Amino acid sequence: MSGDTLQGQCRIKTPILHPVNMSNYPDNSANDQPRTIIIGDVHGCLHELNQLLLELVPTEHDHLIFIGDLIDRGPDSAGVVERVVELSANHRVSLILGNHEEKFLRYRRHRAAGKGVERQMSGTEEFPMLMERLQSIHFEFLENAYYTLHLPEYRTLLVHGGIPGQVKFPLPATYRYGEHAPRDYPGLDLLTKTRFLDENGSFVALNEQKPQDQFWAETYDGRYGHVVFGHQPFMEAAPKEFPFATGVDTGCVYGGKLSALVLPLAH
């Protein structure tokens, strides 16, 4: 991604009723029914989030799920967190932990410890501003994010990044940031940042990717159910479909669109 796209000519995508797989997602889209709405990576694009919400008109019965990375890169990260927390006062809102939220919470912990460790962290340019603008209600909301959210009624698992090859803890299941620590569930944090896997199916770090490595969703066999994820921007008109996964980050902050995946009522 070249630097000049980072300001984000964010554009809006009409939310779509988008059954991923008709056998898993029975079509019951009567509009008075509660909806499960999964929103892609917002990355500070407050205007596009507001436009999307105007189109969605969420009701008090809907469940709004943000797939993570509310913050960083875009024009108004603090405004996005404030808007989402404001929504949560009157709606059921869940946040999947993005790698940018994870880094921000880590930065905040280091700052509180007072040893200056946070000054060695890269990619934290926006964090002092967030520390200044956000209040305890916002931090609490971020701390309550999910590493994974299991929606058994849809046989679906939500993560920000993806499923790394070797998972050594029970899935599908729900894990929360404030409640389940990677030291007790080794590899839990990888679900927030997985993109590529090596030939053994193991997690590949961002800077160590080789041409033969495969995007995780290309080889994922559905063993934990259908996975809905963000993190990897797909510059496409609609969420990207894989055999057992759906990517909902359509690259809003890179000049793409902000997408919402609207699941019909499950039985």
Amino acid residing at 4: D
Nearer to Mn ion, 58 or 75 (CB): 75
Q: Interacting stretch for Mn ion, rule CB under 5 A, among 83-91, 179-187, 204-212, 224-232?
A: 224-232
Nearer to Mn ion, 18 or 231 (CB): 231
| Closest CB 149 distance from Mn ion, rounded Å | 16
| Closest CB 250 distance from Mn ion, rounded Å | 13
| Closest CB 193 distance from Mn ion, rounded Å | 7
Nearer to Mn ion, 231 or 257 (CB): 231
By CB under 5 A, is residue 102 in contact with Mn ion? no
| Closest CB 232 distance from Mn ion, rounded Å | 8
By CB under 5 A, is residue 99 in contact with Mn ion? yes
By CB under 5 A, is residue 43 in contact with Mn ion? no
Size of the site for Mn ion (CB under 5 A): 4
Residues forming contacts to Mn ion in the complex (CB under 5 A) are 69, 98-99, 231
